[in-house]
Structure 1
Amino acid sequence: MSKQTGIQTDNNTTKASWLLLIGVILIGSNLRVPITSVGALITFIRDDLGISNSVAGLITTLPLLAFAVFSPFTPRIARKIGMEWTIGLSMMLLIAGIAIRSITGIGFLFIGTLFIGLAIAVGNVLIPAIIKMSFPFKIGLMTGIYAVFMNIFGALGSGLSVPASSIGNMGWQGALGVWGLLAVVALLIWIPQLRKKGDSSPKVNVQTEQKTNLWRSPLAWAVTVFMGGQSLAFYTLITWMPDVLNSIGYNASTAGWMVFLLQAAIIPTTLVMPMVAEKMKNQVGLAIGAAVMFIIGFSGLLLGSMVFVPISAILLGVAGGSCFSLSMMFFTLRTRDGKEAAELSGMAQSFGYLLAAVGPVFVGTLYDISGSWTMPIAFLIVISIIILIAGVISGKEGLVSDRSKQQHKRDLAGVN
């Protein structure tokens, strides 16, 4: 009888682990596609609603601003109701946002987009923490799998939305709304995790929590700058690379394939990089390599030669995928538990996505001022150098909660 009970317990544990694995994959699959799908349909939306290009641009900028504003508050909500319930409620909000956005009307479009941004912010912050808690011995593999599915579905959102809009009477509303089915599936698979309410929010001694102030941690700020720099570089590239290539001599179609090449290079990188990073004592070399690829890739665009563009596209894709994956790994490798990982993730992604929202606008302004892409690309090379410096600091072994010897001496002096 006891043996049967033991076997049943093992089977239940295995089933629960697989459900959590599939749940993490499906949640990750929903974290990019609601944004990338609208980017491909922006022209149809603009013409149908009669809005200007600047207003249409807010459709993609608004979620990034929501990430920036809401990310720091997500860990606080998770501490009160549990990470699993916070993620589950975010999926409900995502479904509602996709449905509302698909209703014709400018008001519905922006309200739905705001809901989508808030929902995705939760997943962005908490999934790395869930991985650290639930898969402590497979952090690299799980981070890679999660990132790959996120980017695959992000690419599918860009590629399939326009063809879907031409099916029957779907239009852009149906093409955006159909992705709500993926969110519904993710929520259904996630339901078993809701029984863990409160389990993922370990009780922390108040005195200890007060001593661990991430906003005063140099390492936490290095991780934050690293995350912010790579976010700015990626979203600026996605926004302006076609225009840069047009100025070099590429036509619109070929420029689009170069952007596709960049995104294709990201996918295998996001799988391999976390597994490599986890096996290394520190990640300094990986961070330097990724930043150098950013520098070389942007320099290739700066040369203005069509010969170097495919190489630059691949290098920039590998650099972007590497830096994103390293950022996710730093959230787990540089923290002591899931709670601290969520807090670092919230801090870094808040700053990171704020830069991501500002970056394309600032680069566009530099182009307007200078009349060429030389100054904007030079600015992105400077950002790459900052990514390199922040990566060196972030890649060194240690925890954000570790205090320096000088701080420890000051604490002892204060006690005495």
Structure 2
Amino acid sequence: MSVRSALLVAGFVLAALNLRPAIAGVSPLLDEIMSDVGLSPAGGGAITTVMVVCLGVFGPVAPLLARRVGLDRTLLAGLIVLAAGVALRGLGGALVLYLGSALAATAIAVMNVSMPGIVKHHFPSRINLLTGVYVSGVVAGSAAVSAVVIPMEHATGYGWRGVSALLAVPALLAALLWLPQALSEQAGPQNGPRPYGIVLRSRVTWYVTGLMGLQSLTFYVMLAWLPTIFLDAGLPADQAGYLLSLTNLVQVAASLTVPVLAGRRPSQVSYVVGAGALTVFGYLGVLLAPATVPWLWMIVLGLGQGASFALALLIITLRPADPAAVTALSAVAQSAGYVVAALGPLLFGLLREVSGGWSVPLTAGLGVLAVQILVGWFAGRPATFR
């Protein structure tokens, strides 16, 4: 492998690792953030909601940037803006916290949409493998930050503000590795988006969008509230963080293997339905016995959610014929999908306030999963994107 190829792969992997820490790093510190800034449970859930809304609203910016400056330079810009947003949110009160979170999430939105197109463009003969690498990088970054933020806070004595700001460092390092690729890129028509009219008229688009949105909703609900659920069940804070990290680590294994296997078959229906069923089982465990063998629920939940996310992105990358079409489909599916997903953490927090417990919100989550499995059955069927 040449130095250029090694930098391409390393930069790609490190960029993927930066796509979730800015969001996942909030959850283990949420009680401390709420106490310091003066937020209610709904206000605490709104941090994740604001970020997921931005993932949806600003995703369509990516194809426009890609047409003008190229996919590689679009990814570089996303990494730089991400670092700035993460550093900003610990510098003030609630308003600055929300603004910094929104800026970081806007950058992640652009990167989210760009990455499937980059896979199609740079690795056309290894889409299944590199999709697995990409998704596993995303969940590995989430798992790592969930595990280390509390120990890092204790070791450094910086508090949540300082630890949150340190998450800008990996994004800057990824930007440095990706810089040679961005500087050498020749922007051209192949990087432009496919007309959105064609995308919006395809039934495939809406099946994939439904799968992307519903699996994201059930994922972000757990990402935002799982440690708090375990705390309310009587588990200590560090163990709650480790359990969240465990489910994310299991997602790495699922996301590495499932795309490779599912991509070899014309239909991904059986994989999508199986992944949804595993997620249902994990939700049931958290609902019925959160403090009893919680590690088992986290393993099952991680397998289901990791596979669901990987399959949604694999289908986005497989269906269109070229990188520009992939980027356009990715923009529609991820933008609309994340707008749907943004409702999850906020409504989950509101249901907890109204009901006084976790039974009602978790039961509602099971209902969402039933719809996810149904939509996923249509999304996973063989189809040609036109």
Q: Does 1:29 align with 2:17?
A: yes
How far apart are residue 138 of structure 1 and its match? 1.0
2:49 to 30, 51, 61: 61
CA deviations over 1:371-413 (Å, ceiling 9, x no partner):
5544433332222222222222221222221xxxxxxxxxxxx
The verdict on how the C-alpha distance between 1:60 and 1:185 changes in structure 2, with shifts beyond 3 A counting, is same
Q: Does 1:325 align with 2:310?
A: yes
In 2: Cα distance, 1:307 partner to 1:167 partner: 30
Q: Does 1:120 align with 2:108?
A: yes
Range 16-25 or range 323-332, more displaced: 16-25
State how 1:242-257 maps to structure 2 within 5 Å.
242=227, 250-252=234-236, 257=242
In 1: Cα distance, 2:243 partner to 2:155 partner: 27
TM-score by length of 1: 0.83
In 2: Cα distance, 1:354 partner to 1:150 partner: 19
State how 1:387-398 maps to structure 2 within 5 Å.
387-398=372-383
2:7 to 10, 19, 22: 19
In 2: Cα distance, 1:316 partner to 1:122 partner: 28
AA aligned opposite 1:76? L
Q: Does 1:355 align with 2:340?
A: yes
The residue number in structure 2 matching 1:404 is none
Deviating above 6 A after TM superposition, structure 1's stretches of 4 or more consecutive aligned residues are: none
In 1: Cα distance, 2:223 partner to 2:196 partner: 40
Q: Which secondary structure state, in structure 1, belongs to the residue aligned with residue 26 of structure 2? A: helix
The residue number in structure 1 matching 2:127 is 139
CA deviations over 1:23-44 (Å, ceiling 9, x no partner):
1111111111122223323333
In 2: Cα distance, 1:211 partner to 1:345 partner: 11
Q: Which has the higher contact order (CA 8 A, sep 6+)?
A: 2
State how 1:95-106 maps to structure 2 within 5 Å.
95-106=83-94
How far apart are residue 307 of structure 1 and its match? 5.2
TM-score by length of 2: 0.89
CA deviations over 1:271-315 (Å, ceiling 9, x no partner):
111111222222111112112222333344455586575443322
CA deviations over 1:50-92 (Å, ceiling 9, x no partner):
4444444333222111111101232122112211111111122
How far apart are residue 151 of structure 1 and its match? 1.7
Q: Which secondary structure state, in structure 1, belongs to the residue aligned with residue 190 of structure 2? A: coil
State how 1:28-107 maps to structure 2 within 5 Å.
28-107=16-95
In 1: Cα distance, 2:187 partner to 2:307 partner: 32
Q: Which runs of 5+ in 1 are unaligned?
A: 1-10, 402-416
The residue number in structure 2 matching 1:400 is 385
AA aligned opposite 2:17? S
Maintained 8 Å contact 2:147/2:245: no
In 1: Cα distance, 2:113 partner to 2:324 partner: 11
The verdict on how the C-alpha distance between 1:304 and 1:182 changes in structure 2, with shifts beyond 3 A counting, is closer
Maintained 8 Å contact 1:82/1:198: yes
State how 1:175-190 maps to structure 2 within 5 Å.
175-190=163-178
2:99 to 111, 121, 124: 111
Maintained 8 Å contact 1:301/1:308: no
How far apart are residue 122 of structure 1 and its match? 1.1
The residue number in structure 1 matching 2:145 is 157
Q: Which secondary structure state, in structure 2, belongs to the residue aligned with residue 279 of structure 1? A: coil
The residue number in structure 2 matching 1:214 is 199
The residue number in structure 1 matching 2:160 is 172
State how 1:194-343 maps to structure 2 within 5 Å.
194-199=182-187, 201-202=189-190, 213-242=198-227, 250-252=234-236, 257-304=242-289, 310-343=295-328
AA aligned opposite 2:78? S
CA deviations over 1:245-278 (Å, ceiling 9, x no partner):
577x553456555434322321211111111122
Maintained 8 Å contact 1:84/1:196: no
In 1: Cα distance, 2:7 partner to 2:292 partner: 47
How far apart are residue 336 of structure 1 and its match? 1.0
**Count of equivalent residues:** 385
Maintained 8 Å contact 1:223/1:394: yes
In 1: Cα distance, 2:116 partner to 2:130 partner: 9
Maintained 8 Å contact 1:227/1:352: yes
AA aligned opposite 1:184? L
Q: Which secondary structure state, in structure 2, belongs to the residue aligned with residue 94 of structure 1? A: helix
Maintained 8 Å contact 1:80/1:198: no
The residue number in structure 2 matching 1:8 is none
How far apart are residue 354 of structure 1 and its match? 1.6
Q: Which secondary structure state, in structure 1, belongs to the residue aligned with residue 59 of structure 2? A: helix
Maintained 8 Å contact 2:218/2:365: yes
RMSD: 2.7
Q: Computing the radius of gyration over CA atoms, which structure comes out larger, 1 or 2?
A: 1
AA aligned opposite 1:327? A
In 2: Cα distance, 1:74 partner to 1:389 partner: 29
Q: Which runs of 5+ in 2 are unaligned?
A: none
The residue number in structure 2 matching 1:411 is none
